[in-house]
Amino acid sequence: MSKLLIDGCRILGGETKVQGSKNSALPILAASLLSRGESVFFGCPKLSDVDSSVKILRYLGCRVKRSGHTLVVNTESINRDDIPEAMMRLMRSSIIYAGALLATTGRARLTFPGGCEIGNRPIDLHLSAFKRLGAEITERHGELIFKAPKGLKGANIALSFPSVGATENIMIAAAKAKGTTVITNAAREPEITDLADYLNACGASIEGAGEGTVIIDGKEKLHPANHSIIPDRIVAATLMSASAVTGSEITLDGVIKSHLDAIIPCFEQAGCKIDFDAQKMRIKAPKRLKSLGLIRTNPYPGFPTDAQAPLMAVSAVAEGITVFSENIFESRYKHVGEFVRLGADIKVEGKVAVVDGVRKLYSAPLCAKDLRGSAALAVAALAAEGTTEIDTTEYLERGYEDLEVVLTSLGASVRKI
Ligand code: UD1
């Protein structure tokens, strides 16, 4: 178990590069199973969730090499179609291997996935979509066995909710199915488009990724391809939050503006000035932030649920009332109790949190409860007087590459022990 020690109230400055997106890298690594040979991935962040994916790929028989942020995956010697429970439990994204294995071997034997406890996270949409594609699924003693001995068949799949993971799983499974698959009410997140770009580079035919209807013409054979992972918009939002709570000016390199369209106005409403020069973003925060108004989390292009906790840290020290409405996950306010220990004034009722910004936060021992929440605690600690100790930062390492090094390079005092 590691801890972060953060001395708050320091002004930040300078420039940092935003890491590659975890939520893009994970499904793309799974999708590499669809072609035989060597795919090279650039900008792959060094995270424990990526290590977990590499573990699964190696278990399945792939050879994987990492050099800095480049991962080389060679799938020539895949020799299994099962994933042990211990590996499935490492992260939610392990469920994406169901689609990848089904498309590759016509079989998959795995268990329910793990991941952060941010609410009941069912996989019913994934399972019903696989059935529509012709897979037989049996569930016994927590084990899920998927079979499509004659291969998957294209189908029309209408999602009752635009689930990111289900959309990705269907795209991967359908990329090699016989015939055409049409997903309606598909998730539109940038990570979906990144996955489609990779699969299309492998010879797949996917149209409409990033829109509500995605059309996949199945191909019998795909070939390996090289791909650069998109920058992580949630890490960008977290670093913007760090700048905001410390009243600082920083520059983020490697940011795609359109991916932050729902987030930038919240910072502007708080009084931050934001400029872009190609893929560089400069954010300059005022001495005292103003309320962020009303923030409703929603599927993309709405405000992302993953940025809710970091922006709540911002609202905790912004003058006036900010209201959050969490519409994606039902238990995503676990950071609130920790913010309150720092002196924040936050009330939660169901999916709504009301934050009355205080002038100052004061250090306290904190305990992280999930990935984005842990980053948000680090942001709040930057604004707190004194030294804040944050426990269980292994959550942080699942999604943030060396956050303590990044923040220290910007002038913060952050130690990992
Ligand atoms: C992905 C992201 C996660 C982000 C989330 C929402 C990855 C690795 N993770 O998670 O960081 O917070 O999108 O943007 O990309 N649901 C069902 N049945 C299902 C699937 C989902 O009811 O079969 C519900 C979930 O419980 C949740 C909502 O749909 O309430 C959204 O979940 P989903 O979009 O699937 O999130 P993930 O893909 O798990």
Tell me: pLDDT of 283 over 70. Answer: yes
Selected catalytic residue, list 9, 44, 62, 116: 116
- Percent residues over pLDDT 70 in the chain: 98
Q: Is the peptide bond before 301 cis (omega within 30 degrees of 0)?
A: yes
Question: Which amino acid, 208?
Answer: G
Active site residue 9: no
* Ligand 1 binding pocket, CB closer than 6 Å: 23, 26, 92-93, 119, 121-126, 161, 163-166, 187, 191, 304-306, 328-329
Of 228, 257, 285, the position where a domain reaches its end is 228
Q: Is the domain of 163 the same as that of 195? A: yes
Q: Is the domain of 366 the same as that of 297? A: yes
CB atoms within 10 A of CB 141: 5
The tokens 């795995």 sit on which residue?
A: 110
CATH number at residue 223: 3.65.10.10
Shortest CA distance to 24 belongs to which of 11, 10, 43, 5? 43
Q: Is the domain of 236 the same as that of 248? A: yes
353-365: pLDDT as tens digits: 999 999 999 999 9
Q: pTM of the prediction?
A: 0.97
- The protein residue with its alpha carbon nearest to ligand 1, atom 31, reads 163
CB atoms within 10 A of CB 2: 13
pLDDT at 140: 87
Q: Is the domain of 375 the same as that of 405? A: yes
Calculate helix-pair angle for 124-132, 164-174, nearest 10 degrees.
20
pLDDT at 118: 55
307 SS3 class: helix
pLDDT at 116: 59
pLDDT at 92: 87
**Among 161, 172, 329, which is best to mutate for testing ligand 1, by the most ligand atoms less than 8 A from CB?**
161
The CA 356 to ligand 1 mean position distance, Å, reads 29
Of 179, 206, 228, the position where a domain reaches its end is 228
The CA 80 to ligand 1 mean position distance, Å, reads 27
Beta strand 384-385 pairing with 361-362: parallel
pLDDT at 256: 97
DSSP β-bridge partners for residue 70: 67
Counting atoms of ligand 1 from 1, which one is nearest the CA of 163? Answer: 34
Q: Is the domain of 344 the same as that of 396? A: yes
The tokens 């009355």 sit on which residue?
A: 356
The CA 138 to ligand 1 mean position distance, Å, reads 23
Q: Is the domain of 186 the same as that of 258? A: no
**Among 117, 164, 167, 296, which is best to mutate for testing ligand 1, by the most ligand atoms less than 8 A from CB?**
164
Annotate 139-171 with DSSP letters as a single string.
EETTEEEEE-TT--B--EEE-SS--HHHHHHHH
- The protein residue with its alpha carbon nearest to ligand 1, atom 4, reads 306
pLDDT at 94: 92
Counting atoms of ligand 1 from 1, which one is nearest the CA of 91? Answer: 8
Q: Is the domain of 89 the same as that of 168? A: yes
pLDDT at 384: 98
- The protein residue with its alpha carbon nearest to ligand 1, atom 11, reads 306
Q: Is the domain of 387 the same as that of 374? A: yes
The CA 164 to ligand 1 mean position distance, Å, reads 6
Arithmetic mean of pLDDT over the chain: 96
**Among 24, 127, 194, 328, which is best to mutate for testing ligand 1, by the most ligand atoms less than 8 A from CB?**
328
Counting atoms of ligand 1 from 1, which one is nearest the CA of 119? Answer: 26
Q: Is the domain of 282 the same as that of 220? A: no
Q: How confident is the model at residue 78 (pLDDT cuts 50, 70, 90)?
A: very high
Average pLDDT over residues 56-60: 98
pLDDT at 117: 63
- The protein residue with its alpha carbon nearest to ligand 1, atom 15, reads 23
pLDDT at 330: 84
Counting atoms of ligand 1 from 1, which one is nearest the CA of 49? Answer: 8
pLDDT at 142: 84
Q: Is the domain of 246 the same as that of 381? A: yes
309-328: pLDDT as tens digits: 999 999 999 999 999 999 99
- The protein residue with its alpha carbon nearest to ligand 1, atom 20, reads 123
Alpha carbon distances (Å) from 11 to 3, 94, 183, 288, 346: 22, 39, 47, 13, 25
Of 207, 228, 249, the position where a domain reaches its end is 228
Shortest CA distance to 281 belongs to which of 319, 313, 249? 249
Q: How confident is the model at residue 112 (pLDDT cuts 50, 70, 90)?
A: confident
What residues make up the domain containing 237? 4-19+231-416
Answer yes or no: are the C-beta atoms of 231 and 266 closer than 8 Å.
no
Q: In total, how many domains does the chain have?
A: 2
Alpha carbon distances (Å) from 55 to 63, 65, 110, 250, 416: 10, 11, 15, 36, 25
Question: Which amino acid, 232?
Answer: D
Q: Which stretches of 43-189 are assigned E, i.e. beta strand? A: 63-67, 70-74, 107-111, 136-140, 143-147, 156-158, 180-184
Q: Is the domain of 358 the same as that of 372? A: yes
Q: Is the domain of 191 the same as that of 239? A: no
